[in-house]
Amino acid sequence: MMGAALSRWTMAFFAAALVCLLGAQTMIVLGYGFPSTAVEDPQTLVLVHMVTIGWLSLLMCGALFQFVPVLVAQPLIGAQLVLPALICLVAGLASLLAGFLQLSGDLEIGIAFLPIAGVLLPMGFGLVVVVLGRTLLSGRPLPLPARFVAAGLACLVATASIGVLFASLLSGFAPAGHAVDWRGEALPLHVTAGFGGWLTLTAIGVSYRLLPMFMLSPDKERATGTTVLWSSCAALFLVLVAVPVERMLGGPGAAWHAACLAMLVAVVLYGVDLVFFYRHRKRRNIELNSRSAIGAFAALYLSVALLVALVATGTLGQNIAALVYLVAFGWLSGLGLSQLYKIVPFLTWLECYGPVMGRKPTPRVQDLVVEKRDMPWFALYFCGVLVGTAALLAGMPDLFRLAALATLCATVALVVEMVLVRRLFNVAIAARLPEGTARPRLFLSSSR
Amino acid sequence: MTQPYYDLDVRPVLRDGGEPFSLIMQAVSALAPGQSLRLFATFKPLPLFQVLGARGFDASAREIGNGDWEVIFTPSGAAAEAEQRTAMADQSGDAWPAPVDELDNRDLEPPEPMVKTLEGVEALQPGQTIAALLPREPVFLFEELEARGHSWRGQMEPEGHFRVVIRAGNPQR
């Protein structure tokens, strides 16, 4: 039974992540990458990795450094490795993007950036896995949300390993590379392990704790939650291991069907749990973070419906971009933004007012934000994602860019709001800094 | 931040009639600076208190049932370290006075359970205790109690909430 401290670098992770999100959205608006260029074009690769590594992975890592110690009630083990991890990841991402630009011929410098990225990124993610993994190990037996995180970390290792393979193939370091049909065989594994494993499993795990916590719902572990964990892990194992093996041996495709079935069980039961949390909440008026999260959950279920429809009509291949866009921007980014809207004020409140809590009157956490002002931005964001997905499906690139502009505007507004939160801007001046408190720094949380 | 204990369970060795002394000394030499050793034994290992006391460790022992003992050897180096230890989760067996109040903070939204609990703690005289029911294990509260020099005992209740009893330490601002 131990306390958990504020994670010192989490705000820096969030800031770097949000910069990448804004950058990626701006690229889409400017028509950089898909759909102007092909899916496998280096420009699209720049865009995709800006979103997946820059925005989503940095966001998730920053959140987990704060969240895992709370989940397992143990201090973070190896906290001094968090900053090196951030530096490796940011430098590795920059090298990766530079490497892609070299492939497209946009950047002509005689430095081999892809192999550098192939070292820095695994190093950064490796540090993340070591710190979080050791902390999880010290907190056994793990509660359900932490088991999701552990499974997500395993998938992160898989995703990064396949990524390293790609980096060495693309930079011509692997002579045997030509024997591998990397786009047909390995790319779907990379995408599935990344989106379905690392990002989605951890997002689900985090939601199992944050939703009941902020809506005051019962959060005793239920059989449905455990089934979601095991069936999603089974689905991932089947897709990542059993399906390729079966294909190699020339089997009838049973593993793929079993994987689909397991995935459906997982998403249906996850939906059952989500409805349970919202319906059994003790708090009638839920806050904007929990309300806007509904948009993200809707996007998750739309993604599943779209996947089923595309598979059924045999058009998954030509519409994969629309599906990935909906998963990345609707489900994962939507959930990320909606939870940031709570996490940033909460951590800022704790950092600033924790030392005088119970001794002096303090503002409430809700006083750090103005929900009425921000609700339209969340609505605009999710509408933009929906229209953007439809535009991709309908093959209307200009409408897609226009819809992306809407999400960009909404994101800018929410980022401005988070900066204001860190600055305590929305708190009445008289109540802002009681004696014994200090104004939080923008990116670096103070430690006690 | 405090380091996790280095755990060593010599009960199986003792039950098999073995001699765990070398194991224990190996563990002691493997400790990180400032790290404590948590030893589980089938008796209160008084001779060890002297041996490790001479090496600069303070021992605190408590019976954990079935005649077994848990002993924590803390390096008594820096004063700050010792202070941190006393403020941590209270593991000693001595009796605490009955709580002056019993707060039910289960149905409050975060961070109100923590705020109300600390308001109660701040109203205590040193040595007095207060009990609070909380919706879950209050990890941020523990951190704050530790920073303020209070000690606590707590556990999850079968109903799914957490009950904590906090004893006010000496006032330090």
Choose the final residue of a domain: B58, B87, B116: B87
What's the domain range around B140?
Answer: 102-167
Q: Does residue A345 sit in helix, strand or coil?
A: helix
Are A3 and B144 an interchain contact pair (Cβ–Cβ within 8 Å)? yes
The verdict on B105 touching A (C-beta cutoff 8 Å) is no
Average pLDDT over residues A305-311: 94
Could you tell me the CATH number of the domain that includes residue B123?
Answer: 3.30.110.40
The tens digit of pLDDT for each residue in A79-106 reads: 999 999 999 999 999 999 999 999 988 8
At B56 the pLDDT is 78
Residues of B in contact with A357 (CB under 8 A): 111, 114-115, 118, 144
For residue B111, being part of any structural domain is answered with yes
Residues of A in contact with B139 (CB under 8 A): 2-4, 69-70, 73
| Longest alpha-carbon distance in chain A | 73
What's the rounded Cα separation, in Å, for the pair A70 and A7? 10
What's the rounded Cα separation, in Å, for the pair B135 and B145? 17
What's the rounded Cα separation, in Å, for the pair B65 and A119? 52
For residue B154, being part of any structural domain is answered with yes
| Band (A294; pLDDT cuts 50, 70, 90) | very high
For residue B64, being part of any structural domain is answered with yes
Interface residue of B137, B156, B166, B172 to substitute, partner A, most A CBs within 10 Å: B137
B122 and B79, same domain (yes or no):
no
At B101 the pLDDT is 92
What's the rounded Cα separation, in Å, for the pair A273 and A295? 16
For residue A166, being part of any structural domain is answered with no
Residue A59 Cα to chain centre, angstroms = 6
A448 within 8 A of A17, measured Cβ to Cβ: no
Choose the final residue of a domain: B87, B110, B134: B87
Residues of B in contact with A216 (CB under 8 A): 107, 109, 135
A vs B, Cβ pairs < 8 A, gives 78
What is each CA distance from A332 to A267, A303, A447, B90, B104, in whole angstroms? 15, 11, 30, 42, 36
Q: What are phi and psi of B75, to 5 degrees?
A: -65, 125
Residues of A in contact with B142 (CB under 8 A): 1-4
Choose the final residue of a domain: A140, A155, A172: A140
Q: For chain A, what is the domain count?
A: 2
Are A3 and B136 an interchain contact pair (Cβ–Cβ within 8 Å)? no
For residue B96, being part of any structural domain is answered with no
What's the domain range around A396?
Answer: 285-441
What's the rounded Cα separation, in Å, for the pair A78 and A62? 15
Interface residue of B84, B136, B139 to substitute, partner A, most A CBs within 10 Å: B139
Q: Which of A5-9, A60-64, A300-304 has the lowest mean pLDDT?
A: A5-9
B109 and B156, same domain (yes or no):
yes
For residue B94, being part of any structural domain is answered with no
What's the rounded Cα separation, in Å, for the pair A374 and B155? 39
What is each CA distance from A15 to A128, A288, B58, B61, in whole angstroms? 17, 21, 45, 47
Q: Which of A164-178, B75-89, B113-127 has the lowest mean pLDDT?
A: B75-89
Q: How far is B154 from chain A (nearest CA, A)?
A: 8
Average pLDDT over residues A161-184: 75
Sheet with B102-104, edge to edge strand ranges:
B102-104, B129-134, B162-167, B151-156
Residue A394 Cα to chain centre, angstroms = 27
Are A5 and B143 an interchain contact pair (Cβ–Cβ within 8 Å)? yes
Choose the final residue of a domain: A94, A118, A140: A140
Burial class (CB in 10 A: 0-12, 13-18, 19+), A413: middle
Average pLDDT over residues A405-434: 96
Q: What are phi and psi of A206, to 5 degrees?
A: -60, -40
Q: Which of A27-36, A254-263, B54-63 has the lowest mean pLDDT?
A: B54-63
Q: How far is B168 from chain A (nearest CA, A)?
A: 13
Pairing outcome for strands B129-134 and B102-104: parallel
Sign of the CA dihedral with A322 first, then A328, A329, and A330 last: positive
Q: Does residue A94 sit in helix, strand or coil?
A: helix
For residue B95, being part of any structural domain is answered with no
Q: Tokens 């339209």 map to which residue?
A: A376
Q: Does residue A208 sit in helix, strand or coil?
A: helix
pTM confidence score: 0.84
Which stretches within A30-104 are classed as H helix?
42-49, 58-72, 82-104
Residues paired with residue B41 on neighbouring β-strands, in sequence order: B69
User: Predicted ipTM?
Assistant: 0.83
Q: For chain B, what is the domain count?
A: 2
What's the rounded Cα separation, in Å, for the pair A61 and A82? 9
The verdict on B104 touching A (C-beta cutoff 8 Å) is no
For residue B153, being part of any structural domain is answered with yes
Choose the final residue of a domain: A140, A157, A179: A140
For residue B158, being part of any structural domain is answered with yes
